[in-house]
Amino acid sequence: MFIIAKLQPTETSRLFLRELIENDLDDIYALKSNPEVVFYLTWGPSNKEQKLTSLKKQIAFQSEENRKIYVLAVGLKSTNKVIGNALLLIKDDDSETAEIGYFLHPDYWHTGYGKEVVEALLMIGFRTFELHRLFARCDVENAGSVNLLKKVGFRLEGHFLKDLKVKGDWRNNYLFALLKEEYSVRKHPKRA
Ligand SMILES: CC(C)(COP(=O)(O)OP(=O)(O)OC[C@H]1O[C@@H](n2cnc3c(N)ncnc32)[C@H](O)[C@@H]1OP(=O)(O)O)[C@@H](O)C(=O)NCCC(=O)NCCS
């Protein structure tokens, strides 16, 4: 596993993923203040001041020694507009495991962008960091996220009952995971 200070930008067919900058504030505020985006998430909707504080904190992670938290801007290559966030949270050096997260503005849902973001996170996690395992948690009723994770090849590993309080309610969550070896077989089936 590699420790990487700043990630180089990554591209998919229609999107870019890059480190956050302060100029992203307006686009990210539009995202994180939207009740649909944060419906299944423990935080939000954020006001502009909260967003500025958290953006500054996330940018500060970029210069941390032994960095573990990567919050990336997801944008459209065609217009440069930032439409989402992608996250990679490295758990500890021994497990060589990271949790991934993602959210997109609802104006861009149902067009395959979610799949592009998660595919890019798989590339970053398995190829750039050479991690052993990636996992994601999501609310059992978050059909968009459940279907997205299944679609890109994640395996259901766990079903937790009322393990997370979201906006005052205890929610049930799935844990999905993917090992590097499963990813490699999927990418290069003939080599398996
Ligand atoms: C989860 C999220 C990123 C999905 O983004 P998206 O761009 O709509 O996803 P895609 O278009 O790539 O769709 C991926 C698959 O999931 C399916 N899907 C997407 N949204 C769906 C929904 N609401 N209900 C059922 N299936 C859905 C798609 O049909 C597609 O499957 P297909 O290829 O068989 O058609 C987006 O809904 C989002 O940002 N949600 C809010 C934040 C969030 O909940 N993040 C996850 C936290 S765990």
- The ranges assigned to domains in the chain are 10-191
Q: Report pLDDT digits (tens) over 17-43.
A: 999 999 999 999 999 999 999 999 999
Query: Is 45 a pocket residue for ligand 1 (Cβ < 6 Å)?
Result: no
Q: What are phi and psi of 12, to 5 degrees?
A: -110, -170
Residue 154's nearest CA partner among 129, 128, 192, 126 is 126
| Predicted pLDDT at 190 | 63
Query: Is 102 a pocket residue for ligand 1 (Cβ < 6 Å)?
Result: yes
Range 10-191 has CATH code 3.40.50.2300: no
Query: Is 14 a pocket residue for ligand 1 (Cβ < 6 Å)?
Result: no
Q: Report pLDDT digits (tens) over 80-93.
A: 999 999 999 999 87
Beta strand 133-139 pairing with 97-104: parallel
Residue 74 scores a pLDDT above 70: yes
Q: For the residues of 63-116, what is the DSSP string, one character each?
A: G-TT--EEEEEEEETTT--EEEEEEEEE--TTTTEEEEEEEE-GGGTTSSHHHH
Residue 186 scores a pLDDT above 90: no
- DSSP state letter for 14: S
